[in-house]
Amino acid sequence: MREIVLDTETTGLDPKTGDRLIEIGGIEIINRIPTGVEFHRFINPERNVPMEAQNVHGISTEFLIGKPLFREVYRDFLAFIGDDILVIHNAQFDVNFLNHELGLVGEKPLSFDRVVDTLALARRRHPAGPNSLDALCKRYGIDTSQRTKHGAIVDSLLLAEVYVELLGERQATFGLQTIGSGAATSERRNGKRAAAKPRPEPLPSRLTEADLVAHRSFIEKMGAKAIWNRFWGAVTS
């Protein structure tokens, strides 16, 4: 099952008073496991970024000069999310901003029916709180050392880990879980797991030719008895 873990940064709290999107970040997860496929754009809001907002996310008015306008990136964004479920923390905030921007370019709004709000999940599971993203990361022992300020991609990556914890799925399903069809739901209720559907297109390798050359060079230094030679063939001197 494909889901998109999503986060945004803005100039303020309310699009109705003139605040705008300045960053969108999202990551693809398949059966709750990140695939490495990401969407990330900074956006020129055509207005200044107040200092109180800049203190939260570190994005300045000057930095956004020359960045694309929302109308220049929204088609790529919609293509990335497709019709899949959106996983967002405090979803009302982000979806309101996204729908405001989509309305300005004449696009239909995103439906809340396709949104999983992890803040609502957290409040049900931990009614005493606190349930901010930072607090949930601390509760579940998730490393936040790379997060000096709020940022859409970093927060999306952290939220993907929190999401798995909130669902009680720390033990990865490794593609064995299928959700959506009535048959799959019935099988789970009977204590069975539905067979995973193959990915339509294999994920591309992240190894470059330079990586492969460097690895082969490293293996050659290990000598003829290196176990890797069973897979790569004899090392020529």
34-44 tens-digit pLDDT: 999 999 999 99
Burial of 207 (0-12, 13-18, 19+ CB in 10 A): exposed
Active site residue 215: no
- For 214-228, the pLDDT digits (tens) are 877 877 777 777 666
Q: Which amino acid is at 90?
A: N
The average pLDDT across 53-68 equals 96
The residue annotated as part of the active site, out of 89, 100, 150, 215, is: 150
Q: For position 217, what pLDDT does the model report?
A: 80
pTM of the full structure:
0.71
Between 39-43, 208-212, 232-236, the lowest mean confidence (pLDDT) is in: 232-236
Q: What percent of the chain has pLDDT over 70?
A: 80
d(CA 135, CA 10) in angstroms, rounded, equals 21
Q: How many CA atoms lie within 13 A of 216 on its CB side?
A: 14
Assign residue 168 a region (left: φ > 0; alpha: ψ between -120 and 50; beta: otherwise): left
